[in-house]
Amino acid sequence: MRSFHFPGRSPVYATKAVAATSHPLASAAALDVMKRGGNAVDATIAAAAVLAVVEHPMTGIGGDCFALLAKPGAAPIALNASGRAPAAATAERYAGFGLKSIPMQSPHAVTVPGAIDGWATLLADHGTMSFADLLAPAIEYARGGFPVAPRVSVDWAGAVGKLKAHAGAAKNLLVDGTRAPRVGERFAMPALARTLEAIARDGRDGFYRGEVAADIVATLNALGGVHTLDDFARQSSSYVTPISVAYKGVELYELPPNNHGIVALILLKMLTRLGKLSDDPAAPERYHVMIEAARLAYAMRDAFVADPAMAEVDVAHMLADATIDNLVARIDRTKRTPDLGPVPRPTGSDTIYLSVIDPNGMAVSFINSLFSDFGSGICAEKSGVTLHNRGQGFVLDPKHPNCIAPGKRPMHTLVPALTLRDGQPDMAFGVMGAAFQPMGHVYVVTNMEDYGLDPQEALDCPRVFFEGEEVQVEDSLAMASRERLAAYGHTVGLRPLPWGGGQIVRFDRTNGCLVAASDARKDGCAIGF
């Protein structure tokens, strides 16, 4: 339990339902839905739609989503709603454009957005309410305006130059086309409100067919994109079998590739062999070993993770005991190893997260994102849809399994997570921050299982991660720990903004209640009833 002498948050305890999101208006929308009889899926969609308005730098209907569902007495369900490349997208074509990689602020970074198809699929298969009911709060905030929250204002202000570069973005996302809204300033998105109304009325077709799709395609084509209306009409989500590993008392479930949740599983298997790394969760020796393990786990991701429908992705090899042993043997607990060597090969071969538990015991772990702040920076002027930059997850090397191809899904950084304990749903959680996310999952699980932290403490603990050759630390990490990391041989830098945010909802089966936590790195909150 935290010391009450210092500022901080306590976990939220409730008996019937809890929701944790990165914005209070979204948490309130989720709880309202469940109070009106909706379930966790209904609440998730309502909250995601609100976040697509009020936390627009991070998320939107022009992005992608993934979900994990845990229903009492049933195996976890996983939905992959990542967007697919246009039918005309080939490495050869982009080479003809003179591209060696895919630029963020270009139409080529925009795959067909998958979020709305994902929402529609979840609602049809597992929800109980209509889009009209669930999107009403988001439509109200988009049409009438909402006061801009502090962290949202910081993210917005940092992207002004990006938004000014595109006329539709400047018109729809900046005050007078020149500046970001300030903290507490009311900001409206009338074009986005009309698009949400079309989805509320026509469902999935309100986005992927008709005027909205035509506006998005025309916007991208005018910038040199190769998208067509058929690409939008064909977009589809898919249910996939989640993958998992055991760690101490829990089983961690992640989405399989093209998602990079497998990185968290590789890391946990490595840490099982390495053992508890320190007595203090914020000790430099713990961070050193975790960074070295993460460098190897992410190298495995970069070598192998791709769309399994269009490339061979050997998940069994990535999680094999021999592979994990090979990786662990390369870690030096006393110093940084500059060159960790090639990854073992098989023989022959930024974002919102929310979590909800409803009165019936269903837990939803859900993530929806534009990838970078405001995605590609491209906003369709008439429909107000800000488009993500997920196409940057592809490479343009035809020999690589993650090379772009027609209808292919890119390597994806969005990762919701679930844990089971003794075969029962235990926790739905996620931690934001692009590539950081699997590392965030490992921090949460080990903070709780190795150090006995409660859900809020597990989120609050200082975070350390690498960007290229630099190890970036949060300002909350003690100076002595930073100096010790440097002594291990790491180049240490201060992270300008903290690593992501996070949300946790958990079953406390001992006391017969629910527990929720929300990361103070964002504006959000956990609430329950």
Mean pLDDT across 162-184: 98
Assign 3 a pLDDT band (cuts: 50, 70, 90): confident
Nearest to 373 by CA among 81, 153, 178: 153
Q: Report, as an integer, the average pLDDT of 492-510.
A: 95
Tell me whether residue 227 is exposed, middle or buried, using C-beta atoms within 10 angstroms of its C-beta: 0 to 12, 13 to 18, 19 or more: buried
The domain spans of the chain are: 36-239+352-393, 255-349+414-528
- pLDDT, tens digit (0-9, with 9 covering 90-100), for 337-369: 999 998 887 754 467 899 999 999 999 999 999
pLDDT recorded at residue 348: 47
pLDDT of residue 23: 97
Question: Strand 378-379 relative to strand 470-473: parallel, antiparallel, unpaired?
Answer: unpaired
**Torsion sign (Cα): 271, 526, 56, 70:** positive
Mean residue pLDDT across the chain: 96
Tell me the per-residue pLDDT of 294-308, one tens digit each, with 9 for 90 and over.
999 999 999 999 999
pTM: predicted TM-score of the whole model, two decimal places: 0.96
Query: Beta strand 491-494 with 470-473: parallel, antiparallel or unpaired?
Result: parallel
Residue 472: pLDDT band (50, 70, 90) is very high
Q: Which residue numbers are catalytic? A: 351
What integer pLDDT is reported at residue 350 of this predicted model? 60
CATH dotted code for 255-349+414-528:
3.60.20.40
- pLDDT above 90: residue 2: no
CA distances from 485 to 26, 274, 331 (A): 38, 19, 15
Cβ contact 126:75 at 8 Å: no
Alpha-carbon distances, residue 21 vs 18, 371, 428, 520 (angstroms): 10, 17, 12, 11
For residue 248, the tally of other CB atoms under 10 A from its CB is: 14
- Segment 364-388 mean pLDDT: 97
Q: Give the span between the Cα atoms of 112 and 94, in whole angstroms.
A: 17
